[in-house]
Amino acid sequence: MTKQVTPNGFTLDDSGQRVVVDPICRIEGHLRIEVNLDENNVIRNAVSTGAMWRGLEVILKGRDPRDAWAFTERICGVCTGVHALTSVRAVEDALGIDIPANANSIRNLMLLAQHTQDHLVHFYHLHALDWVDVVSALKADPRATSELQRSISNWPKSSPGYFRDVQARLKRFVESGQLGPFSNAYWGSAAYRLPPEANLMAVTHYLEALDFQREIVKIHTIFGGRNPHPNWVVGGVPCSIDVNGDGSINMEWLNLVSSIIDQSITFIDQVYIPDLKAIASFYKDWTYGGGLSGKNLLSYGEYPDHPNDWSQANMLQPGGAILDGDLSKVHEVDVRDPEQVQEFVAHSWYSYPDEKQGLHPWDGITEPHFELGPNFKGTKTNIEQIDEGAKYSFIKAPRWRGHAMEVGPLARYVVAYARGHEEIRDQVDGLLHDLGLPLPAIFSTLGRTAARGLECSFTAHKMRYVFDQLMANLKAGDTATANMDKWEPDTWPAQTRGVGHVEAPRGALGHWIHIKDGKLENYQAVVPTTWNASPRDPAGNIGAYEAALLGTPMVDAEQPVEILRTIHSFDPCLACSTHVMAPDGEELASVKVR
Amino acid sequence: MGDQQTFYEAMREHGITRRSFLKFCSLTAAGLGMGPEFAGKIAHALETKPRTPVIWLHGLECTCCSESFIRSGHPLAADVILSMISLDYDDTLMAAAGYQAEEILEQTVQKYDGNFILACEGNPPLNEDGMYCIQGGKPYIEKLRYMASHCKAIIAWGSCASWGCVQAARPNPTRATPIHKVIHDKPIVKVPGCPPIAEVMTGVITYMVAFGELPELDRQGRPKMFYSQRLHDKCYRRPHFDAGQFVERFDDEGARKGYCLYKVGCKGPTTHNACSTVEWNGGLSWPVKSGHGCLGCAEDNFWDRGSFYSAVTNLGVTGGVEATADDIGEVLAGAAAIGVAAHAAASVVSHMKDGSKGDSSHD
């Protein structure tokens, strides 16, 4: 290859030093990244390899469609519930089931709670250590840290003594010589820019957030019985409501939900958002990682305000597609149109009869084919270097009208911004104003991270809106939570197909299903990380991870802080992206699915 | 292991008073279902035992076990990670990546050979030479076997590591295989559930750290303190089962009244777990309390036992309500299975006869 320009406008050059980062830690699942650096340690080629393959779609074949949510929920326990919700929506779409208003509100509350908790945990526990130097926090002046904290927020845990205690705890931890999860990392690297006080504040909130996240998910526990992996049901939600009773959701439970919402709003707005701004202010000139974000973005839209209406006008966070960075036009997305969403496998460890063609998920084929290209280095069970000219990932390459797309919080925010969504515009413009940055600054790693934070605040506040909606409906006398009219398979058509979509924390998620004679005939999922971690397609278009890494200078080729920073900004979820499988484990290469 | 702190030293250094430490020991003893006399034993153990290194590996899984672990309220996950154990490797949480992360494994083997706990989340696939789960360019099964050969004991977190779980459901295309079927020469404690309850996970860790041994296990390798009861035995809705008061469909009158979920598929009668006693998310609720039947997620092969909404008829238990996991073992007696179904059916019949369906006067 040496040097080439991709159809989607990126220049790749694999002539320089190859660096392999495997495993990428602080993500869900198993991901490998390889890059080539030029003589100035700038990334000139990037290769994203999904390194695991579990599969659920074929396991689902022949099962009861009403059970599918439980199987698909186990695609991912980090974004728990989102696949379950997508699944029940797909089955309801196929069978023509309308859900009650209360079920719509409760589902929205559960999804909003998931976003809020997931984004919070991602920022502090999976991403912060790319920006925050834990060891530097030992040098902080607790009094100055307190002043910093009080200058950015009203959060009450801000005294010099409080920060002194946390610092003492951290000091003894470091001095014990057993650094646990902080071992062998990149502390002291010039890539870290925060002053010690900001590092101490962030480490303190790492611990506070780890404690607080447990509270947010209790909304799942109340309505779905537990978290992770709460329960769902086709036709509505499994919980009933009897405000005056003691056998189901009553006033005490509802009060607890309301209290959790208040606490969540406070924590996000007084801890997460101020931290995000404080940290971002030290990295304003680290403008890398934009990749596809300034070009092609996709969101299906989420949170139907009224039940059973999937128009974008009814969405609390409207979706659509942006092409070529043109924010003046938001394209409508039709998940049923065979020309729009398609998956390609030319560079994936699967095979198609014609690998130049893409397939719509309703017509999807999954024929696994693990094969390393002619230029790979190592052996089959000890891969030293991937050959990206051939098949190189367990992730397929989804495209929208042929375009590689970025999905996730930044995509949702840019699409909603382009649609003129007032609340989201105010959030984005406010943050940019506070940081003194122009709008194009959001097309970056930092922009992706910032959009996730803003969305976390948005979802926390929207829980209040939806809760009030639920209470108003209950007050009006409607307590229904499930529509069981089409529960029995004898009420179903002999054959039908459906699609369900959800905006999951990591982006656009869709399930496409066929039901035949009461059983699942086919099940296909196209998942956020499949979009973002996508390998190349037959035309040579690169995916969002690969594009975002290009052009990034590394301080030290031995320490992949910058690679982690950008990859983590997408919040990878590999178990989600690589779930497809064949029906017969013993003869994988010769079996055709569908 | 000279540079390791004891748990007590770590807590003291973190500003925790002796009084609080002893209170923690009492709560831990109570949480493990032990009498107050055990609090002293736990305190003694934590004062003298060094912080145990833990290597937490991830195979094919969904990470729900890790997510559940960080939900623990007593003890807090942060206290477990920072004070009780030394979580030296966990690719979901650790700061390092790439070769710097993998180096820690070798360092652990050099430094703590035979003295670290191997915590396994997920399982290895065996098809395609193990390459359906690649870590550092190599099959996960290699890493698992290598670390297992040097560890002291293994915790199999969740139903993936314990039984195989969803990726091993029919037809199990990757040949995803539970830990005990590939590692035969180390003690293994199974902590099944999809996921396991947070406080069950930290309870097992606490026990192992405090006593330096595995908790007492049943014949299937599960800690008796958490898995010796069927959910049905201690279900707060059990009186409704006995009275023949059932939810017939979601959101009916019975559902609003909190009746028994047996007829909408609850697997509580055949599932061994602590949901009905410990409950979830700080003891707040559990699936049955929210109105959905138990899926049976802590049981072997629960994905292939028919629909989650079919009433339990083909599986049963021996020995009635008092049966323990040990009594049941892996062989289920057909006659007794019919017994449970007949019991339920009889309840329903008597219930229908007096025509009081959904009538709370039945209580």
Q: Do B212 and B128 share a structural domain?
A: yes
Residue A519's DSSP bridge partners are A516
Run of H or E residues at B88: strand B85-90
Round to whole Å and give the CA distance between B178 and B125. 9
Nearest to B138 among A26, A165, A382 (CB): A382
Residue A37's DSSP bridge partners are A17, A43
**B118: burial class by Cβ within 10 Å (0-12, 13-18, 19+)?**
buried
| Interface size between A and B, measured as CB pairs under 8 A | 332
User: Residue B214 sits in a domain of what CATH number?
Assistant: 3.40.50.700
Residue with tokens 């927020």: A153
Contact B101 A23 (CB under 8 A): yes
* Cα dihedral A315→A317→A323→A327 (10° resolution): 110
Q: Do B251 and B196 share a structural domain?
A: no
* Residue from B51, B67, B102 whose CB has the most chain A CBs within 10 Å, to mutate: B67
The CA distance from A501 to the nearest CA of chain B, in Å, is 20
Average pLDDT over chain B reads 84
Find the mean pLDDT for residues B83-95.
94
Strands (E), A491-582: 495-504, 507-516, 519-526
Strands (E), A441-506: 495-504
Nearest to A30 among B100, B133, B142 (CB): B133
Q: Do B142 and B246 share a structural domain?
A: no
Residue B305 lies in a domain: yes
Token pair listed for B130: 């193990």
Residue B314 lies in a domain: yes
Residue B286 lies in a domain: yes
* Residue from B64, B143, B251 whose CB has the most chain A CBs within 10 Å, to mutate: B251
Contact A222 B290 (CB under 8 A): yes
Residue B64 lies in a domain: yes
Task: Please give the pLDDT value at position B27.
Answer: 65
Token pair listed for A370: 């693990």
**A443: burial class by Cβ within 10 Å (0-12, 13-18, 19+)?**
buried
Which tens digits make up the pLDDT trace of B110-153?
999 999 999 999 999 999 999 999 999 999 999 999 999 999 99
> B225, B254, B283 — which closes off a domain?
B225
Query: What DSSP designation does A534 have?
Result: -
Tell me if A510 sits within 8 A of A146, measured CB to CB.
Answer: no
State in Å, rounded, how far the first CA of chain A is from the last one.
36
Is the per-residue pLDDT at B97 higher than 60?
yes
> B176, B191, B225 — which closes off a domain?
B225
Residue B238 lies in a domain: yes
Q: Do B110 and B41 share a structural domain?
A: yes
Q: Do B244 and B100 share a structural domain?
A: no
User: Is the CB of A56 inside 8 Å of chain B's CB atoms?
Assistant: yes
Average pLDDT over chain A reads 94
User: Is the CB of A43 inside 8 Å of chain B's CB atoms?
Assistant: no
Tell me if A439 sits within 8 A of A425, measured CB to CB.
Answer: no
The CA distance from A376 to the nearest CA of chain B, in Å, is 11
Chain A, nearest residue to B128 by Cα: A370
Contact A183 B104 (CB under 8 A): yes
Query: What string of H, E and C letters represents the secondary structure of A346-382?
Result: CCECECCCCCCCCECHHHCCCCECCCCCCCCEEECCE
Residue with tokens 């905006």: A503
User: Residue B300 sits in a domain of what CATH number?
Assistant: 4.10.480.10
Q: What was the ipTM of the complex prediction?
A: 0.95
Is the per-residue pLDDT at A594 higher than 50?
no
Task: Please give the pLDDT value at position B211.
Answer: 87
Tell me if A293 sits within 8 A of A410, measured CB to CB.
Answer: yes
**Containing structural domain, residue B311:** 231-362
Residue B2 lies in a domain: no
Nearest to B134 among A51, A235, A487 (CB): A51
Find the mean pLDDT for residues A102-106.
98
SS3 content of chain B, % helix, strand, coil (to 5): 45, 15, 40
Round to whole Å and give the CA distance between B349 and A172. 66
Number of Cα atoms under 13 Å in the Cβ half of residue A459:
28
The CA distance from B186 to the nearest CA of chain A, in Å, is 24
> Per-residue b/e over A404-434, b at no fewer than 16 CB within 10 Å?
bbbbbbbbbbbbbbbbebeebeebbeebbee
Instruction: Provide the number of structural domains found in chain B.
Output: 2
User: Is the CB of A585 inside 8 Å of chain B's CB atoms?
Assistant: yes
Number of Cα atoms under 13 Å in the Cβ half of residue A450:
29
Q: Do B196 and B97 share a structural domain?
A: yes
- B33 falls in which pLDDT band (50, 70, 90)? low
Residue B1 lies in a domain: no
Which tens digits make up the pLDDT trace of A83-94?
999 999 999 999
- Stated pTM of the model: 0.91
Contact B135 A23 (CB under 8 A): yes
Nearest to B173 among A29, A235, A584 (CB): A584
- Name B227's Cβ contacts closer than 8 Å, sequence gap at least 6: B192, B218, B272, B273, B274, B298, B325
Which tens digits make up the pLDDT trace of A422-457?
999 999 999 999 999 999 999 999 999 999 999 999
Residues of A in contact with B135 (CB under 8 A): 22-23, 30, 51
Round to whole Å and give the CA distance between A80 and A217. 10
Cα-based angle A386, A391, A392 (whole degrees, multiple of 5): 40
Contact B256 A225 (CB under 8 A): no
User: Is the CB of A54 inside 8 Å of chain B's CB atoms?
Assistant: yes
Residue A13's DSSP bridge partners are A3
Which tens digits make up the pLDDT trace of A203-215?
999 999 999 999 9
Tell me if B124 sits within 8 A of B130, measured CB to CB.
Answer: yes
Task: Please give the pLDDT value at position A121.
Answer: 98
- B35 falls in which pLDDT band (50, 70, 90)? low
> B201, B225, B249 — which closes off a domain?
B225
Chain B, nearest residue to A162 by Cα: B15
Residues 334-373 of A with CB under 8 A from B: 370
Round to whole Å and give the CA distance between B88 and B55. 6
Residues of A in contact with B248 (CB under 8 A): none
Task: Please give the pLDDT value at position A268.
Answer: 98
**A116: burial class by Cβ within 10 Å (0-12, 13-18, 19+)?**
buried
Round to whole Å and give the CA distance between A536 and B229. 52
Q: Do B204 and B171 share a structural domain?
A: yes
User: Is the CB of A165 inside 8 Å of chain B's CB atoms?
Assistant: yes
Nearest to A77 among B63, B129, B140 (CB): B63
Q: Do B297 and B201 share a structural domain?
A: no
- Name B61's Cβ contacts closer than 8 Å, sequence gap at least 6: A77, A575, B121, B122, B123, B158, B160, B161, B165
Residues of B in contact with A99 (CB under 8 A): none
- In this structure, which amino acid lies at residue B63? T
Q: Where are the alpha helices (DSSP H) in B163-215?
A: 198-211
Round to whole Å and give the CA distance between A398 and A342. 6
Which tens digits make up the pLDDT trace of B41-62?
667 666 656 689 999 999 999 9
The CA distance from A313 to the nearest CA of chain B, in Å, is 30
How many CB atoms within 10 Å of residue A394?
29
Is the per-residue pLDDT at A123 higher than 50?
yes
Round to whole Å and give the CA distance between A414 and A419. 9
Q: Do B297 and B196 share a structural domain?
A: no
Residue B53 lies in a domain: yes
Residues of A in contact with B307 (CB under 8 A): 64, 66-67
Chain A, nearest residue to B86 by Cα: A180
Q: Do B339 and B238 share a structural domain?
A: yes
* Residue from B159, B290, B305, B360 whose CB has the most chain A CBs within 10 Å, to mutate: B290
The CA distance from A342 to the nearest CA of chain B, in Å, is 24
Residues 393-452 of A with CB under 8 A from B: 394
Q: Do B14 and B49 share a structural domain?
A: yes
User: Is the CB of A18 inside 8 Å of chain B's CB atoms?
Assistant: no
Contact A181 B309 (CB under 8 A): no
The CA distance from A318 to the nearest CA of chain B, in Å, is 29
Find the mean pLDDT for residues A458-465.
98
Residues of B in contact with A186 (CB under 8 A): 95-96, 100
More confident residue, A442 or A57: A442
CA of A455: how far to CAs of A533, A567, B342, in Å?
22, 19, 53
| DSSP code per residue over A44-83 | EEEEEEE-B----HHHHTTS-GGGHHHHHHTT-SSSTTHH
- Using DSSP, state whether A345 is helix, strand or coil: coil
The least confident of A137-146, B48-57, B244-253 is: B48-57
Residue with tokens 């696939």: B125
Residue B52's DSSP bridge partners are B85
Chain B, nearest residue to A56 by Cα: B167
Q: Do B263 and B186 share a structural domain?
A: no
